[in-house]
Amino acid sequence: MRMSKLFFQTLREAPADADVRSHQLMLRAGLVRQVAAGIFEYLPLGLRAKKKIEAILREEMDAIGGQEIVMPVVQPADLWKRTGRWYEIGDDLARLTDRGGRELVLGMTHEEVITELAAGVISSYRQLPVMLYQVQTKFRDEPRPRGGLIRVREFTMKDGYSFHASYASLDHYYPLVYQAYFNIFGRAGLDVIAVESDTGMMGGTMAHEFMALTEVGEDTLLICDGCGYKANRQVATFTKPEDGADASADPLPMAEVATPGVDTIAALADFLGIPQSRTAKALFLVATIEQDGEEKEQFVFVVVRGDMELNETKLSNALKARQLRPAQPDEIRAIGAEPGYGSPIGIQSENVLLVVDDLVLRSPNLVAGANREGWHLKNVNCGRDYEPDLIQDVVAAGDGHPCPVCSAPLRSVRGVEVGNIFKLGTKYSEAMEAVFLDEDGKSAPLVMGCYGIGAGRLMASVVETSNDDDGIVWPMTIAPQQVYLVSLATRRTPEVTEAADRVYSELTEAGIEVLYDDRDERAGVKFNDADLLGIPVRLTIGARGLKNGVVELKLRRGRDSREFPLDGLVDQIAQVVESEEARVLENIKTDPLQ
């Protein structure tokens, strides 16, 4: 590709609303352009990188027995109603109506469609297991798109779905996908870790997320350097401490204490001169839950120890809540509680669900609110002074908390989710009546797995983690082009143009991908664009080198340059390209599923 003919434009400065490095660089390098919030178009060089990622996705899915199909972006709402997700998912699901009044959705995921397809084709255990996948456009109406391609509304995803006759078969197949994902990310030059995760709206019995570690990530992960435990903070557990509370202490008589103007846990601990672990924190929320086929709001009063934070994902899962929102002050007072001084003591309303973290049960004589402004209660004991409706682990793991496996301190890091896999089980097959006849001739629901990777997010994550002050540093395996050829010809040196044209033709004929900078621009402009675009190998042909029969080669990932003779150049460049590809592939992880 000659740059004089290439449809692109580089920018010296990124737009002010580009908030992360990958977004800035991809706009400046002319890889993508933003059409609307969370909606992008790919320009030629960006599309080349994306297609290389998609080729890797297809190769690795094919290697574990996947068969590619294509499903529609526009889907009948009736399918989503059959699984209940039409009602469970809020505004993220784009709904529309056709001219005939039929309700439709823009597919944000394809569980309903693929399950209906399987129900119509699979009838016997002899057809199982089978894995189908697609590389298809999705649309999720994200309320807050950010980070360029990291969080968008329209995106391309590889989603795969496996069907099995038993959970044992799914358990056997799941690790194959798990390793295939490490192969995909490794081949793309992206270092990832796999963490346990919440199944969320997908449902199922187990899920893992594949995370690229970067400070721009929206997810917090907890990692143990002692034993290798890794989990998303949404589901991470830890060995809960007993510090600050003697679990064997006898309950003491409850007593009121005046605490004027003390309406936070930190202020309460300072006022009384006690650690926050000797206090009880009251939290008030309203959960949307399903009851008798209808949605209803349930007031939820949560008590956690004062030194802990509520984990809303754990709470939502415990309640099977579709969503949670903070309770308003008038709602709090309506149940007999007082904001800032809340306590489960004396709450009479039958419409309150009282949830207590299990650590509170093992922490006697805590200081809690008195449901009266300016007052607290000492020596409050769960079980003696109030009875919870539910005792559950609902607090968040954090830095320094003991690992649940080996008790070493956990550390938190930020990450971008670049892929996920789920053991869906029979959630969708039961709802869609996708059944088969087993070996005994009995009807049984298909057992399912689900596996997704966003191509654009993967590309953005590579750029986010592989760049320097000058621009992108592409790995050879997914770079838009393999070689950036710079001609330093001037009007006085037509021989340089002739030599560069000849090298371009010879490299291209040999199957090497070349971006030929034949523009009538200053050398500085060309070198700056070469660094910004990040093509792995830069070849420079100038009058001085040509006189000596050499060209200059510089790898984008390094600073040193070297000279190669023009004679035999194609073979030597082919070796450099092969070496750079091998360098990427040697870093593929083998990470056994724990």
CA distance 450 to 314: 22
pLDDT in tens, 374-390: 999 999 999 999 999 99
My answer on whether 232 and 267 are in the same domain is no
Q: How confident is the model at residue 133 (pLDDT cuts 50, 70, 90)?
A: very high
Question: SS3 sequence, 175-198?
Answer: HHHHHHHHHHHHHCCCCCEEEECC
Phi-psi region at 539: left, alpha or beta (left = phi > 0; alpha = psi -120 to 50): beta
Measuring CA to CA, which residue among 542, 558, 554 is closest to residue 503? 542
Radius of gyration of the chain (CA): 30
pLDDT of 310 higher than 80:
yes
Q: In the predicted model, what is the mean pLDDT of the chain?
A: 94
State the pairing for strand pair 483-487/514-517: parallel
Q: What is the CATH number of the domain that holds 314?
A: 3.90.960.10
Tokens at residue 441, please?
A: 């001739």
Answer whether residue 292 shows pLDDT above 80. no
The DSSP code for 2 is B
- In the structure, what pLDDT confidence band is assigned to residue 524 with cuts at 50, 70 and 90? very high
- Looking at the fold, whether 53 and 145 belong to one and the same domain comes out as yes
Band of pLDDT at residue 590, cut at 50, 70 and 90: confident
Identify whether residues 296 and 435 lie together within a single domain: no
Give a yes or no: residue 86 inside a domain: yes
Q: What is the full DSSP assignment across 535-559?
A: -SEEEEE-HHHHHTTEEEEEETT-S
The alpha helices in 335-450, defined as continuous H runs, are: 358-361, 427-432
**Residue written as token pair 């009880």:** 280
pLDDT in tens, 470-486: 999 999 999 999 999 99
Q: Sheet of 74-76: strands edge to edge?
A: 74-76, 103-106, 95-97
Per-residue pLDDT tens for 399-458? 999 999 999 999 999 999 999 999 999 999 999 999 999 999 999 999 999 999 999 999
Express as a percent the part of the chain with pLDDT over 90: 87
Are 458 and 478 in the same domain? no
Mean pLDDT across 511-529: 96
Within this chain, do residues 537 and 570 fall inside the same structural domain, yes or no? yes
Please name the helix (run of DSSP H) or strand (run of DSSP E) that holds residue 121, with its range, or none.
helix 111-121
Instruction: Indicate left, alpha or beta for 374 from its phi (over 0: left) and psi (-120 to 50: alpha).
Output: left
Domain count across the chain: 3
Residues 6 or more apart whose CB falls under 8 angstroms from that of 511 comprise none
What's the rounded mean pLDDT across residues 124-144? Answer: 97
| Banded pLDDT at 291 (limits 50, 70, 90) | confident
534-562, pLDDT tens digit by residue? 999 999 999 999 999 999 999 999 989 99
Q: Cα separation of 463 and 473, whole Å?
A: 7
The whole-angstrom separation of Cα 416 and Cα 398 is: 18
- With cut-offs at 50, 70 and 90, classify the pLDDT of residue 295: confident
Specify the pTM.
0.89
Q: Note whether residue 487 is domain-resident.
A: yes
> What does the pLDDT read at residue 246?
61
Which residues make beta-bridge pairs with 421? Answer: 208, 451
Q: Which of 331, 330, 337, 286 is nearest to 312 (CA)?
A: 286
Same domain for 377 and 501: no
Return d(Cα 482, Cα 529) in angstroms, integer. Answer: 15
Whether residue 299 sits in one domain with residue 193: no
State the pLDDT at residue 203: 59
25 domain-assigned: yes
- Does residue 133 lie within any of the structural domains? yes
Q: Which CATH number do you get for residue 157?
A: 3.30.930.10
Q: Sign of torsion, CA 235 239 245 246?
A: positive
* Domain boundary residue, one of 464, 488, 508: 464
Q: Is the pLDDT of residue 312 over 70?
A: yes
pLDDT by residue (tens digit) across 56-90?
A: 999 999 999 999 999 999 999 999 999 999 988 88
Higher-confidence residue of 306 and 200: namely: 306
pLDDT at 487 over 80: yes
Query: Would you say residue 319 lies in a domain?
Result: yes
pLDDT at position 201 over 60: no
Instruction: Flag whether 590 is in a domain.
Output: no
Of 420, 441, 464, the residue at which a domain comes to its end is: 464
pLDDT band at residue 16 using 50, 70 and 90 as cut-offs: confident
Biggest CA–CA distance in the chain, Å, is 98
- If asked whether residues 439 and 291 sit together in one domain, one would say no
Residue ranges making up the domain that contains 157: 21-236+412-464
Task: Tell me the CA distances in angstroms from 552 to 45, 503, 537, 564, 567, one per residue in order.
Answer: 24, 13, 10, 6, 13
Q: Check whether 202 has a pLDDT greater than 60.
A: no
Overall average pLDDT of the 276-284 stretch = 96
Report the pLDDT averaged over residues 338-365.
91
pLDDT digits (tens, 9 = 90+) for 224-274: 999 989 999 988 999 998 655 565 678 999 999 999 999 999 999 999 999
Are residue 133 and residue 229 in the same domain, yes or no? yes
Q: Are residues 215 and 141 in the same domain?
A: yes
Whether residue 198 sits in one domain with residue 50: yes
pLDDT for 289: 87
Indicate whether 66 and 92 sit together in one domain: yes
Q: Does the residue 7 lie in any domain?
A: no
Residue 10 lies in a domain: no
Distance CA 357, CA 217 (A): 28
Q: Among residues of the chain, what percentage have pLDDT more than 70? A: 97
Residue 293 has pLDDT above 80, yes or no: no
- CATH code for the domain in which residue 560 is found: 3.40.50.800
